[in-house]
């Protein structure tokens, strides 16, 4: 029993860390223990849950930025993880990438979005989100009366073209 305790330190959750590693970590240079300041594209993809191709796409649209190392590999600052999180949440809310890019460009270059930044950004999108919720709620409430009616009239259908409001916008789809 004493030998087992000498070989491992027991942590909550029954995780065992060898004593030799604990001693080595205690003697190591603190800067070596800190997480890397730059991440590879694979590390960002793994941490964010996005595909590498999505990160490349975001970069091509100016949503995130990387630098190239001596081997010409992309390296991202750790702050990109929060920026990607903001992008993903905004997209989930239905905010177009162009609007997300515009909002992120308003932040000082290279700064990680803060809680205050998120409040400002989300406030910009709140009215649009509320309008979409109202529209979808109205659609849901009218949908049960429409199923099976068979009218398919672009002039009469209250769901497709209420009061023929789209006629003034000219021919073709407008949704």
Alpha-carbon Rg for the chain, nearest whole angstrom, is 26
Q: Stretch 90-100: mean pLDDT, rounded?
A: 90
Identify whether the C-beta of residue 85 lies closer than 8 Å to the C-beta of residue 50.
no
pLDDT at 42 over 90: yes
Is residue 14 over pLDDT 70? no
Structural domain that includes position 158: 145-175
Confidence (pTM): 0.60
Identify the CA nearest to 9 among candidates 29, 32, 26: 26
**Is 83 domain-assigned?**
yes
| Domain annotation covers residue 59 | yes
103 and 41 in a common domain: yes
Domain with 88 in it: what CATH number? Answer: 1.10.1660.10
- What is the Cα–Cα distance from 48 to 89, expressed in whole angstroms? 12
| CB contact at 8 A, 8 and 19 | yes
Secondary structure of residue 36 in the 3-state scheme = coil
Are 65 and 113 within one domain?
Answer: yes
């Amino acid at each position: 029993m004493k030998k087992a305790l000498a070989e491992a330190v027991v942590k909550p959750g029954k995780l065992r860390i060898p004593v030799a590693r604990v001693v080595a970590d205690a003697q190591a240079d603190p800067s070596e223990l800190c997480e890397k300041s730059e991440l590879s594209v694979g590390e960002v993809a793994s941490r964010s849950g996005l595909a590498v191709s999505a990160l490349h796409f975001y970069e091509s649209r100016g949503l995130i930025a990387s630098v190239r190392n001596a081997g010409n590999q992309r390296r991202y600052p750790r702050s990109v993880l929060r920026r990607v999180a903001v992008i993903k949440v905004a997209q989930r809310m239905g905010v177009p990438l162009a609007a997300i890019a515009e909002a992120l460009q308003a932040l000082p270059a290279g700064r990680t979005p803060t809680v205050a930044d998120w409040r400002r950004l989300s406030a910009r999108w709140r009215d649009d989100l509320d309008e979409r919720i109202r529209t979808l709620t109205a659609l849901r409430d009218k949908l049960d009366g429409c199923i099976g009616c068979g009218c398919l009239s672009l002039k009469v259908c209250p769901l497709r073209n209420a009061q023929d409001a789209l006629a003034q916008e000219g021919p073709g789809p407008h949704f």
